Amino acid sequence: MVLVSSGSVAAGSHLFPDELQQTIPIKKAMAAAGQAEMMGTWEKLFNFPTAQMLLTRCDLRDRERYVSVRETIFTLLEHGVLPIINENDTIVTDKLKVGDNDNLSAIVAAAADADALIICSDINGLYNKNPHKHDDAVLIPNIPEINADIFAMADGATSAVGTGGMITKVEAAQKATLHGIDTYIVNGFTEQTFEMLLNGENPGTHFSSDPSPMKEHLHWMTHTSTAQGEVIVEDNFTVKLDAHSEELTSDDLIEIKGEFAVGDTILVRKHDGTKLAKAKSNYSSCLLSFITNQEDKNFASDFQEQTGPIISDKNVALLESDTL
């Protein structure tokens, strides 16, 4: 069991009673003060040891740090200590944060090789429309596949402390099920929920895991890692996932954007803006820009012959939607 818990901002808010507006610096201070109180509350409820892990997107998008996070989770579990994970709200900026604990929990579930992800909410599960706005909304007990129709049912949050409402929960379910993890959205306020879960019953909405999940490192690249830069390619370019073909050569490149090093994740994007794939770059942005700007095309092919392809087929994750 791994617990991803929100609550630091809410727990710390009473220490800042005169702040009518929760600005970002105030929220960060509330989180710093409230995180200890939140952990104290959990510790009082359990008769076994707990451990705190505070993460940011930076810790998860970097493969080395991600592997280190996994190692700590597994070590804690092996020693009977419950990892309690939250975002490190005190140091994150918009660029560095995951932002909501639904998506964070899906990333953690993937990192922990979880069998199931259980998202406890203030409502029984996903309804066909927001029940706080529509009296005739109906609970959907089983969702075999997440598609645009399912996303269309999900609306934002209505509570003062919730972030994302059902939208981020469906996003989390998509990340987890593609990793082969069964996902549940349940009501965390009722005891019956947990009795049913322990009996192997579904108390809310169950999203079935994908029967052919993505390979672990490709899932990480698609759903956790963020691209450090972009390579812009000709509009007629297609990514071939064939071990014998050159995936990307200098002839296909039009422009290099951003700064990235060897091993960083990059986005392969068509000139018309379409996102094609995320991939691990075997070249730095500096070297790729140099190669792209060479008049002598033989230079690039000679260079690649010795150094190898820009991206290799084993480290390419095709993108199906424009949202990742």
Ligand X SMILES: Nc1ncnc2c1ncn2[C@@H]1O[C@H](COP(=O)(O)OP(=O)(O)O)[C@@H](O)[C@H]1O
Ligand Y SMILES: N[C@@H](CCC(=O)OP(=O)(O)O)C(=O)O
Which residues are near ligand X by CB under 6 A?
Answer: 121-123, 126-127, 129-132, 153-155, 157-159, 162-166
Stretch near ligand Y under the rule CB under 6 A, chosen from 76-84, 146-154, 156-164, 214-222: 156-164
Q: Crossing angle for the helix pair 101-111 and 63-78, nearest 10 degrees? A: 80
Partner interacting with residue 89 (select from ligand X, ligand Y, none; CB below 5-8 Å by kind): ligand Y
Q: CA-CA distance, 267 to 260, in Å (whole number)?
A: 11
Q: Quick count: other Cβ atoms within 10 Å of Cβ 32?
A: 17
Nearer to ligand X, 127 or 237 (CB): 127
- Return d(Cα 79, Cα 54) in angstroms, integer: 19
Q: What are the C-alpha distances in Å from 29 to residues 26, 85, 88, 193, 300? A: 5, 18, 12, 34, 52
Token pair belonging to 230: 């972009």
Buried b / exposed e across 57-73, counting CB within 10 Å, b at 16+? Answer: bebbbbbeebeebeeeb
88 lies in the site for ligand Y, by CB under 6 A: no
Residue 203 binding result from ligand X, ligand Y, none, given CB thresholds of 5 to 8 Å by partner type: none
Q: Can residue 162 be called a binding residue for ligand Y (CB under 6 A)?
A: yes
Of 71-79, 81-89, 135-143, 208-216, the window that binds ligand Y (rule: CB under 6 A) is 81-89
Q: Does 100 bind ligand Y (CB under 6 A)?
A: yes
CB of 145 to ligand Y, least distance (A): 23
Name which position in 56, 86, 183, 282 contacts ligand Y (CB under 6 A). 86
**Residue 85 phi, psi dihedral angles, 5° rounding:** -115, 140
Determine the Cα–Cα distance for residues 190 and 179; give it in Å rounded to an integer: 28
In the list ligand Y, ligand X, none, the entry touching 252 (Cβ below 5 to 8 angstroms by class) is none
CA distance 320 to 15: 46
Question: Can you give the length of the chain in residues?
Answer: 324
Q: How many residues bind ligand Y (CB under 6 A)?
A: 16
Of residues 251-280, those binding ligand Y (CB under 6 A): none
For ligand Y, the closer of residues 59 and 89 by Cβ is: 89
115 binds, among ligand Y, ligand X, none (CB under 5 to 8 A by kind): none
* Alpha-carbon span 89 to 60, nearest angstrom: 15
- CB 277, CB 266: distance < 8 Å: no
How near is the Cβ of 37 to ligand Y at its closest, in Å? 11
59 interacts with ligand Y by CB under 6 A: no
- Phi first, then psi: what are they for 276, rounded to 5°? -100, -45
* Position 123 contacts ligand Y (CB under 6 A): no
Minimum separation from the CB atom of position 6 to ligand Y (A): 3
Tokens representing residue 136 in the block: 């005739």
CB of 125 vs ligand Y, minimal distance in Å = 16
For 137, which DSSP code?
-
**Which of 130, 163, 208, 301 forms a contact with ligand Y (CB under 6 A)?**
163
Residue 269: CB minimum distance to ligand Y, A: 30
Beta pairing partners, 255: 232
- Judged by CB under 6 A, the residue of 55, 84, 146, 164 near ligand Y is 164
Residues that bind ligand Y (CB under 6 A): 6-10, 31, 86-87, 89, 100-102, 162-164, 168
